[in-house]
Amino acid sequence: MTLHAPYDASNIFNKILRGEMPCVKVFEDEVALALMDVFPQVEGHTLVIPKQVEARNFLDMPEAKLGDYMLRVQKVTRAVEAGLKPDGIRVIQFNGAPAGQTVYHLHFHIMPIFDGVKPGAHASGGMKSAADLEPVAARIRAGF
C-alpha cells in the first residue's frame, strides 16, 4: 500500500474505536485509545491510536490534534514503565507498507524491553487472547 491513499474506515483500529471489535484497553479518553497488541512482539506491547481522526499515518495527522495525541503516547509510555519496570522502552511508528505499517490508522507501538529478551519481528508473532493479555494490561493500568 502506498504512503498516501484515501483513508479506509474499515480498518481494524477504526472498527475497535466504533465498538465493532473487542480489545483489551489500557487507557482511553476523548483523544486516544491505548490497547494491548494482540500480536505482541514482547510482553506488554501496547498500541496508542488517535480518536476522531482519519489519519492513515503520522503524515496525515492534523497538526491541531498532534500535540494532544503525543501527550497521550507519552502518558501511556510512562504507565508501561511504571507498571512493568522494563530496562528500556521502544516507541515506534511506521508509515507505509515499505516501512512496515500493516494497519492504516495512525498508531504508536510502545514496547517494554527487558535485558536478555529479544523482541519478535513486527506482525509475525502468534495471536494472544484477551485472557492472556489482561494480566499485563492490569499492571500497566496500575502505572497511571
Q: Give the residue from 23, 26, 24 showing the smallest Cα distance to 140.
A: 26
CA distance 47 to 34: 5
Angle (CA) 115-25-32 rounded to 5° is: 95
H or E, element range at 114: none
Active site residues: 107
Helix (H) or strand (E) holding 90: strand 88-92
Strand 88-92 versus strand 46-50 pairing type? unpaired
Alpha-carbon distance 69 to 50, whole Å? Answer: 6
